[in-house]
Structure formats: structure tokens, C-alpha cells
């Protein structure tokens, strides 16, 4: 029992350390997937497309949960806020699993359009990727604080401040991800291309954006 109590106390006393460890694990999984270090299955093109559609649905639900969570906390409905944000976080974890599986599919999609539309699309994609990466530790820190502290204790922490940053960064990232998905899959269409290295995704999008200007 004493061991269990110690395990519960340590994350509460060291939320930044827990956040750091979890962030490193998340980044390592994504880098490992793109670098070919994870034993991911090689799906057919049809399955990869289906995974992309599933990711869009999960992201839409996650964004809805985040918006609901903001509404609840503004109305001082703490329990509903907690439930909504934990739902959003769970959906983000589902997204991560689906995303890693999709990476193993063997190809990426390039939007089949040029000109200003392509420029706008690449700009949104670059911002989406950047915010997704930067928001990871912020979101995790808000969740760790929320799970290890009571509502009364949270008022003495930076949970509210971190939570606002997390909502802004991840909410915008999700929204841009949904918009780019619609443009790519349901408006302009796409052509397949081989994988690029995961760490270069943002650079590739930014370079393509600059080249098109």
C-alpha cells in the first residue's frame, strides 16, 4: 500500500518530469515510425486511405470534445470539463495509434492542385504539423496536472494557464488538419508519393510553400 501511495505521490510532486518522459516517448514513437525503426505492418493502399479517413473522424471528435470542455469550464462545470478533456486526450491517443499504423502504409498523398490553392494548403499543413509537435508537452502537462490534483489543488497550479495554451495550439492544429484533409481528399484530390523522413515533413512543406511563391 505504501508503494502504491509513493507511486501516486511522485507524479503529483513532479508533473514536469512526468510530462518530459511522456513527451520523449511520444516523439520517439513518431520518429521511429518514420525512420522505419518500428515493426509496423505494410498495409494496402485501400487500408491506408481508410486509416486516413478514420483519423479525420477521430480528430473531428477530439476537436468537438475540446470545444465542449472549454464551454463547461467557462460555466464552472468542472466534472463535465474534466470528462470532456479526458475524452479529447483519449481520442488523441487513438489518433496517435492510427497515425503510426498509417505511416507503415508505404506512401503519402500529394494534393493535385497548383497555384494559390496549393500555397494555402501547404501553409496550413506546415502550421498543422508544427503545432502538433509543439503542443505535445503542453497538452501532456495539463493532463498530468488534471489527473494528479483535485479541483481545489489545481487552482494553486498553472493548470489553467497551460490548459489555455494547450487548447489554443491543439485546437487550431486539429482544425487545420481537418481542413487540409477535406481539401486533399474531397475537393481537389491527390496523387501518391513515397514516404519522406518524418523529421523533414515540416521542412518539405515549408520549402514547397516558398518555391511556389
How far is it, in rounded angstroms, from Cα 5 to Cα 43? 44
Mean pLDDT of the chain: 86
Q: Which parts of the chain register pLDDT below 50? A: 1-4, 196-213
CA distances to 47, 54, 98, 124, 140 from 91, in Å: 20, 11, 10, 22, 13
pLDDT for the residue numbered 195: 57
- pLDDT value at position 122? 92
C-alpha–C-alpha distance, residues 143 and 152, integer Å = 16
Cross-strand bridge partners of residue 191 = 110
CATH topology of domain 13-211: 1.20.120
Domain borders along the chain are 13-211
Task: Give the pLDDT confidence score for residue 213 in this predicted structure.
Answer: 40
CA torsion through residues 48, 110, 190, 134, sign = positive
Give the model confidence (pLDDT) of 64-78 as tens digits.
999 999 999 999 999
Taking alpha carbons only, the member of 72, 23, 49 closest to residue 189 is 49
Please spell the DSSP secondary structure of the chain, one letter per residue. -HHHHHHHHHHHH-HHHHHHHHHHHHHHHHHHHHHT-S------HHHHHHHHHHHHHHHHHHHHHHHHHHHHHHTT-HHHHHHHHHHHHHHHHHHHHHHHHHHTTS-EEEES--HHHHHHHHHHHHHHHHHHHHHHHHHHHHHHHHHHS-HHHHTTTTHHHHHHHHHHHHHHHHHHHHHHHHIIIIIS-EEEE----GGGHHHHHHHHHHHT-
pLDDT at 104: 73
pLDDT value at position 145? 94
This prediction has a pTM of 0.85
pLDDT value at residue 8: 64
For residue range 12-55, list pLDDT tens digits in order: 889 999 999 999 999 898 888 877 788 888 888 888 889 999 99
Identify the residue whose cell numbers are 486526450.
89
Amino acid at each position: 500500500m505504501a508503494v502504491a501511495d509513493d507511486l501516486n505521490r511522485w507524479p503529483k510532486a513532479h508533473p514536469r518530469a512526468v510530462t518530459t518522459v511522456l513527451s520523449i516517448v511520444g516523439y520517439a514513437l513518431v520518429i521511429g515510425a518514420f525512420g522505419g525503426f518500428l515493426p509496423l505492418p505494410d498495409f494496402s493502399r485501400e487500408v491506408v486511405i481508410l486509416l486516413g479517413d478514420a483519423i479525420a473522424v477521430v480528430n473531428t471528435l477530439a476537436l468537438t470534445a475540446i470545444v465542449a470542455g472549454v464551454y463547461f469550464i467557462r460555466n464552472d462545470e468542472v466534472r463535465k470539463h474534466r470528462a470532456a478533456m479526458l475524452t479529447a486526450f483519449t481520442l488523441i491517443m487513438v489518433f496517435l495509434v492510427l497515425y503510426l499504423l498509417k505511416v507503415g502504409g508505404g506512401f503519402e498523398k500529394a494534393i493535385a492542385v497548383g497555384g494559390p490553392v496549393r500555397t494555402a494548403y501547404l501553409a496550413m499543413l506546415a502550421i498543422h504539423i508544427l503545432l502538433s509537435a509543439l503542443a505535445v508537452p503542453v497538452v501532456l502537462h495539463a493532463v498530468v496536472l488534471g489527473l494528479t490534483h483535485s479541483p481545489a489543488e489545481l487552482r494553486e497550479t498553472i493548470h489553467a494557464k497551460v490548459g489555455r495554451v494547450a487548447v489554443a495550439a491543439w485546437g487550431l492544429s486539429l482544425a487545420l488538419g481537418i481542413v487540409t484533409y477535406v481539401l486533399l481528399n474531397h475537393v481537389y484530390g491527390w496523387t501518391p508519393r513515397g514516404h519522406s523522413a518524418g523529421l523533414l515533413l515540416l521542412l518539405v512543406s515549408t520549402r514547397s510553400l516558398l518555391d511556389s511563391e
